[in-house]
Amino acid sequence: MDEMNEEGGYEERRGPRGPRNDFSGVPKPVKVGDEVEVRVEAVASKGDGIAKKDGFVIFIKGAKEGDQLKVRITDVKARFAIGEIVS
């Protein structure tokens, strides 16, 4: 999983052969500003909910496992996105 940096954001962690589950070269299923319906599958060690859209991980602050939510994408990285709860 990715690690939180000093500013409270996530940083990508690389494996010995480069990034794991890298979506580079492939269009990502979300972009900043998109609103998507997701189900939170798990909770990260830092407490953020983890959901996926077409296999692409979305971290959602304040979400709990099992939540069915509409989220707005606020940031997109190579291997994950950050979303905020809309409803």
pLDDT of residue 25: 72
Tell me the per-residue pLDDT of 34-52, one tens digit each, with 9 for 90 and over. 999 999 999 999 999 999 9
3-state DSSP helix/strand/coil % of the chain, to nearest 5: 0, 45, 55
In 3D space, the residue among 81, 78, 41 whose CA is nearest the CA of residue 57 turns out to be: 81
Per-residue model confidence (pLDDT) at position 26: 78
pLDDT of residue 18: 54
68 pLDDT band, cuts 50/70/90, is very high
11 within 8 A of 76, measured Cβ to Cβ = no
For the chain, how many residues are written? Answer: 87
Comparing 27 with 49, which gets the higher pLDDT? 49
Is the separation of the CB atoms in 44 and 59 below 8 Å?
yes
Number of domains in the chain: 1
Give this prediction's pTM. Answer: 0.74
Domain that residue 19 falls in: 3-85
* CATH classification at residue 28: 2.40.50.140
